[in-house]
Structure 1
């Protein structure tokens, strides 16, 4: 599951995608290129907006939402990392790319 998120007047929003097969392998390869944008996943409410993009393959998270995954199973990136992902995603994942650009290119 990939989640992009951002604060919005204190309430925030999040968009989610799940991937399988070739798309999953493609996304994982792109995420590996974002090492310089890695951040700690949020643990408390105070730091919940530090990470703009989260990824996990935890089974509970896939069924119940990202909050069901242990923080040790969540990878996180900054908003700059999300924008970098948008630049390297191929056309077949354009819905993710477009959502990232719409949310984070405005800042």
Structure 2
């Protein structure tokens, strides 16, 4: 099983992050029903902060678990994801993706 951490950086301004969160809220049930998807969750910084916490107010972290890279690649080509990317592209500045697997 793979764990994906995708950090979505939105443009400055709370309205951009909220627009992406709203769009994610709409597709999450559909994504969770996809073959090979074990989890798909949008996370934002916890408030109030504590001393050791790093914050990124224009960031959304997607924490996902997929059965395989084939399942992940199929997910990225679904109609609902392509529509989601189109709907959010004016709000997203950058995306960084890590694909992780258990080391033992």
Asked if these proteins are the same fold (TM beyond 0.5), I'd say no
Normalised by the length of structure 1, the TM-score is 0.37
The structure having more radius of gyration, on CA atoms, is: 2
Higher relative contact order (CA 8 A, sep 6+): 2
More strand by share: 2
TM-score, structure 2 as length reference: 0.37
Of Structure 1 and Structure 2, the greater helix share is in 1
